Every structure is written in structure tokens, then in C-alpha cells.
Structure 1
């Protein structure tokens, strides 16, 4: 049990340090303040934190794509971005611990509204206009 606690503390410290080194110049207000321990679906320990602050989405994508993390053990995995219902998650595995940094998924554009059928244009007589047929060209 002591090894697990040490792994969680070490992983949290390393992930927090990596985060702030990666974003300090471009996204200084993007923070990871509230880490929560848990258990992943495969039974391995997991640390989860919500990225908060201004431009959190951009900071998370920058961290996942541009910042190198040291992965020293077998079974360690590089960060990947996953889209889950209502969340965008950057997840990786190090020291046998799954790490998840996430932010709420906020759509960049509003959802499209259903298309409306154009109104049919009628003339005063109530009849639809029919074009005159042009005479067929003689061959």
C-alpha cells in the first residue's frame, strides 16, 4: 500500500510540474489545482484533474501535443486526447498510474438549427409560374 501511495504522490508531482512548465509562457492562467485519486477501468490507480482558467482548452491541447513527458517504465503511454460526452480528456499512463487532465467540452459554434423549407411563391392568380417552352431547334 505504501508503494501505491508513493507512486500516486510521485506521479501527481511530476504531472503538475510538467503541466506548469509546458503552459507557463503561453497559458499562465490555466491551472490544475484539484487532483482526485481513483481507480481506472482496468483496476490501476488513476489521478484526475480538471483544467480551469482562461484558455484551458488550448492549454490542454498544447500540453498533449507539444510537451514531452519522460516515460521511463514499461507500460508507460504517451498523452492522447480523447473526446468523451461533455469532456475533452488528455490521458496517459506513467509509473503504473493513469493520469487524466480534462476540461468541459464547449462547442466552438452553436448547434445547427433545422433547415426550413422556402415558401412557395404564388402569383396574384394563385397559379404557379410555368416558363414558356422554347421551340425545339430544327436539325
Structure 2
């Protein structure tokens, strides 16, 4: 049992160290503070943490795709993304322990819609636009000359 506890502690410290080395310059406000221990579906130990803070989504993507994790033991697996209801999970296996870092699946931002023109003011009940003042003046002059 002591070996399992040591493996969990070592794996967590390694994951935390790797996380902060990977994101400290680009995404310093993306944090992994609340680690939980559980069991994976295959019975192996599982460490899971929610990535919180500004740019959590971008930080997790950067971590998984750009940061070289040291995976040197038999059974170690590179990080992959999984999409689960309401979350995006980056999962990998090292030292016999599964690690899940996740963030909430953010809703897509709706595309901007063009601004609508305000309705034109209508001055007559028939819906016709009023005549301009210039035309009215011209008509008055035209009738006086005749």
C-alpha cells in the first residue's frame, strides 16, 4: 500500500511540475489546485484535476500538444483528448497512474448578426413616405407661373 501512495505522490508532483513549466509564460493564471484521487475504469489509480482560471482551455491544449512529458516506463501513454458531456479531458498514463486534467466544455460563441436598420418613420396612414420640402417648393413655383 505504501508503494501505491508513493507512486501517487510522485506522479502528482511530476504532473504539477510539468504543468507549471509548460504554462507559466503563456498562461500564468491557468491553475490546477484541487487534485482528487480515485480509481480508473481498469482499476488503476487515477488523479484528476480541473484546470481553472483565465485561458484554461488554451492552456490545457498547449500543455498536451506542445510540452514534452517524460514517459519512460512500460505502459506509459501520451496525452490524448476525450470529450465527455460538459467537459474536455486530457488523459495520459505514467508510472501506473492515470492522470486527467479537464476543463468545462465552453459553449460555442454565437456568430455575430448584422445590425438591423431601424424602421422608417411613416407620416401618412397609407405608408407612403412624405415628400421632401424641396419638391413641395418646386410644385408651388410651378403652379404660380402657369
TM-score by length of 1: 0.78
Show the 5 A alignment for 1:1-139. 1-110=1-110
SS at match of 2:79: strand
Secondary structure class of the residue paired with 1:79: strand
Query: Any idea what the Cα deviations from partners look like across 1:85-127, whole Å, max 9, x if unmatched?
Result: 100000000000000000000123249xxxxxxxxxxxxxxxx
SS at match of 2:27: coil
Query: Which residues of structure 2 form unaligned runs of 5+?
Result: 112-146
Secondary structure, aligned partner of 2:48:
strand
**Which digits, 9 at most, give the CA deviation of each residue in 1:17-72, with x for residues without a partner?**
00000000000000000000000000000000000000000000000100010001
1: CA distance between counterparts of 2:3 and 2:27?
34
Bigger Rg, structure 1 or 2: 2
In 1, Cα distance between equivalents of 2:73 and 2:12? 16
Q: Shift of residue 81 of structure 1?
A: 1.0
Other structure's SS at 1:49 match: strand
How many residues align structurally? 111
Instruction: Kindly indicate which of the two structures has a greater share of residues assigned to helix.
Output: 2
Structure 1 residue ranges, 4+ long, deviating more than 6 angstroms after superposition:
none
Q: Give the unaligned 5+ runs of structure 1.
A: 112-139
